[in-house]
Structure 1
Amino acid sequence: MEPLRIRIVGGSVGGLFAAALLRQDGHDVRLYERSTTGLAGRGAGLVSQRELFTLLRAVGCDHVARIGVVAFERIYFDRDGGIAERHAMPQTQISWDHLFRVMRSKVADDQYVTGRAVATVTQGPDRARLLFLDGGEEEADLVIGADGLGSVVRPVVTGAPAPNSYAGYVAWRGLFAEEQLPADAAILRDRFAFYMMPRSHALGYLVPGPGGETTVGQRRYNWVWYRPVPAAALPATLTDTEGRCHPHSLSPGQVRAPAVAALRSDAARLLPPPFASVVAAEPEPFIQAIFDYEAPVMASGRIALLGDAAFVARPHTAMGVAKAAGDALALRRHLAEAPTVADALALYSTERCAAGTAITAYGRRLGAALE
């Protein structure tokens, strides 16, 4: 296939995966990220999966998957903070921030545009067209929607409104420097820790520092507490310090002070002491509502979906980044092998819809006890 003019909506790791691979094949690629400040510093840790290893090798960055923090065992607390169960299950967590920066370095600055939001996408038989909120337009041979849960590309591909389905619970999160880990939570070091309770559970583990640091004292502690929130209460839960309601999450610094105080109080009352301590140690906890979505198709004409724009997998799977990597690898392969863009996207949609359906079903099974 001749080199294509490809435009990607969304500049997170999924869009960068696709951009890095497709640029290697000689395509003209540009990404549009609606955030004005970029996305560095927004991630915590992630577990390397086969698809991510494959992609990193393909772009010459397999060293990224080797820079991680090893949790040597999994432990499960009882209510008083004793270890009820322990399992020798070594697992390595790598840094989302480091992965993002390395992938971002694969795209030239003039090919990564921040602060320019795409309103929608249209297409004809030979071209797709991006329509920007600022009134501008741009044509492309192929548009990739890698714009996540709030995708503006998704309904264009599916041909109908395509809202996410709220799962009935949220993830409260914290991420702070290892040196801030309280002394009474030292048991959490170098372990993947859990505490289970009805319709809720907490977990935590060390991840590399923001620059990929793995030296003791330079790492970060990442904790997550899944808690039920009725659908009717979700808008209030996702209302920030300035009174604005967000659709999916609140970032560090956006959670209102009374909600932070209530979270810490609940942690002291409900969680084992080590987890209660790390919740109290996080100065700016943040929150992510949990959603489900499965696209009936991942491509239409000259427009394709990738990552969470197509399938929203619950975080229990630890496969969100790997799923996006698998999408990018498959899209590249089909574009290289098929005679036309339409043929390539049809094959891509069939292959990756099957993978996305399996992953999202797995996530629903893992999260069923929380609903």
Structure 2
Amino acid sequence: MRVVIAGGSMAGLFAAALLRKAGHDVHVYERSHAGLEGRGAGLVAQQEVFDLLHEIGRDEVAQLGVVAKERITLASDGTIAAAGGPPQMQISWDHLYVATRMQIPDEAYHLGRGAIGAGQDAAGAWLELDHGERIRADLVIGADGIGSAVRRSMMPDAPGPRYTGYVAWRALVPERLLPVSAADVLSDRFAFFHLPGGQALGYTVTGANGELTPGQRRYNAVWYRTTPDLAATLTDRDGRVHPYSLPPGAVRADAVQEVIASARAVLPRPFATVFAAESQPFVQAIFDMEIARMVEGRLALIGDAAFVARPHTAMGVAKAAGDAMALARAVDLGWTPEARRAFEAVRLRTGHAIVDYGRRLGASLG
């Protein structure tokens, strides 16, 4: 079967790796010109990720990560108010991305070619790209994220993502830049701080090239903040308003200074020093999104193109892996009406459950 995938991040890569392993002719079209390596930090892998890695023969990827020896909750003065819980490993997003990307030949992974629409006719399905080309296939998979063009083509009247009222400010700082006082509290721990209308959390992750040696690793911090004026927050250095997030380097200088000053005012000192050490913080608006269907004939949706859950669930990559494995099984069965219905029923139920779980976890924030 000839399969075309819109979106080359985790969901698209997972589906492509599985389908190519099964012998299908698969091509991935990714909007980014430079690729996605280096954009991720660490992730808490769920069972679906381990299962997928096993299916594509890359079990070793799950072994590269930093173990948080315990979970701690900080008091406002920076001391540890509570500690406990079992050790937990955060694997490297970058390493997972690279390992999966290596399963796809360069000639089948097309950068700088974003999807703007999709459709189907009696001869099959097609994906329309932003430079005017139309790619035909037996199956088109929308793995193109929260702003999915494939989803809009399938369901033009669907409501789309709903802003929850808060954003996540993120910092990814080389461990060597942290003051000793902060590193002594935060390194090798999964740390939390709760405040009215907000939450901060953080954990140690591998270095940019997978380094595990203390001092060569990075610290990943997230600060959830209530933000009524989303357009102002997502206005970049050039005055352009982005719909969902601002990447590193795009945040206005005045906004960077405001985040640092606010962190010093309301966060415990260890967390405040992380944001003070980050010269290029980035921001992600938090959305909920659910859909009524994931399949329409020869068009299918997976990952964040289908359901967007709040990141508190730590299940985004697991959801993508589960979608990809279920879809691959349906394709192996010939993508028959029965196979399509079975895929959709299972993954719709899972997607709704994860989004609902995210709402409960984030209820105090927005």
TM over 0.5: same fold? yes
1:319 aligned to 2:319?
no
Q: Residue 251 of structure 2 aligns to a residue in which SS?
A: coil
Q: What code does the residue aligned with 1:48 have? A: A
Distance across 2 between alignment mates of 1:43 and 1:361:
25
- Work out the CA distance in 2 between the residues paired with 1:244 and 1:42: 21
Q: What corresponds to 2:364 in structure 1?
A: 369
Q: Match of 1:294?
A: 290
2:132 & 2:336 partners in 1: Cα distance? 27
C-alpha displacement of 1:184: 2.2
Residue in 1 that maps onto 2:39? 42
TM-score, length-scaled by structure 1? 0.96
Hey, which bits of structure 1, 4+ residues long, moved more than 4 A? none
Question: Alignment partner of 1:294: what SS?
Answer: coil
**Structure 1 residue 211: Cα displacement:** 2.1
Structure 1 residue 7 corresponds to structure 2 residue 10 = no
Residue 236 (structure 1) aligned to one of 232, 240, 253 = 232
**In 1, are the aligned partners of 2:148 and 2:305 still within 8 Å (CA)?**
yes
SS of alignment partner, residue 39 of structure 1? coil
In the alignment, the residues of structure 1 paired with residue 158 and residue 133 of structure 2 have an alpha-carbon distance, to the nearest angstrom, of 24
Pair 1:309-2:305 in alignment: yes
CA distance in 2, matches of 1:314, 1:126: 39
Aligned to 1:346: 341
* Helix, strand or coil at the partner of 2:235: coil
- For 1:127, give the aligned amino acid: G
Tell whether the 8 Å contact from 1:158 to 1:296 is kept in structure 2 after alignment: no
In 1: Cα distance, 2:10 partner to 2:102 partner: 12
Q: Alignment partner for residue 225 of structure 2, among 224, 227, 230?
A: 227
Per the TM alignment, residue 242 of structure 1 is displaced from its structure 2 partner at its CA by: 0.8
Question: Which of these residues, 204, 212, 215, is aligned with residue 213 of structure 2?
Answer: 215
Q: 1:162-184 deviations in whole A, cap 9, x for unaligned? A: 42100000000000211112222
Q: Which residue of 2 aligns with 1:357?
A: 352
User: What's the CA shift for 1:340?
Assistant: 4.0
Alpha-carbon offset, residue 25 of structure 1: 0.9
Helix, strand or coil for the counterpart of 1:370?
Answer: coil
Identical columns (%): 55
CA distance in 2, matches of 1:284, 1:49: 29
Displacement of 1:353 in angstroms is 0.3
Matched, 1:115 2:138: no
Q: Per-residue deviation at 1:6?
A: 0.1
Cα distance per residue 1:153-205 (max 9 Å; x no partner):
11223352442100000000000211112222021011111110111010110
Aligned with 1:203: secondary structure? strand
Counterpart CA distance in 2 for 1:144 and 1:16 is: 11
User: Are the equivalent residues in 2 in contact too, given 1:35–1:115 (CA < 8 A)?
Assistant: yes
Instruction: Measure, in 2, the Cα distance between the counterparts of 1:157 and 1:101.
Output: 31
- Which residue number in structure 2 is paired with residue 285 of structure 1? 281
- What SS is found at the alignment partner of 2:347? helix
How far off is 1:126 after superposition?
4.0
C-alpha displacement of 1:349 = 1.0
Distance between the aligned counterparts of 1:113 and 1:340, measured in 2?
A: 25
Shift in Å, 1:344? 2.5
CA RMSD after TM alignment: 1.1
Residue-pair matches, total: 365
**Larger deviation: 206-215 or 271-280?**
206-215
TM-score, reference length from structure 2:
0.98
Candidates 55, 65, 70, aligned match of 2:62: 65
Q: Which residues of structure 2 form unaligned runs of 5+? A: none
- Which residue identity does 2:284 align to in structure 1? Q
Contact in 2 for aligned 1:171/1:227 (Cα 8 Å): yes
The Cα offsets for residues 211-254 of structure 1, whole Å up to 9 and x where unpaired, read as 22212222110000000001xx1111001001111000001111
Cα shift readout 1:305-362 (whole Å, capped 9, x = no counterpart): 010000001100000000000000101112213x444432222111100010111110
SS for the counterpart of 2:289 is: strand
Asked if 1:188 is matched to 2:183, the reply is no
Match for residue 97 of structure 2 among 69, 94, 100? 100
Q: CA deviation at 1:89?
A: 2.5
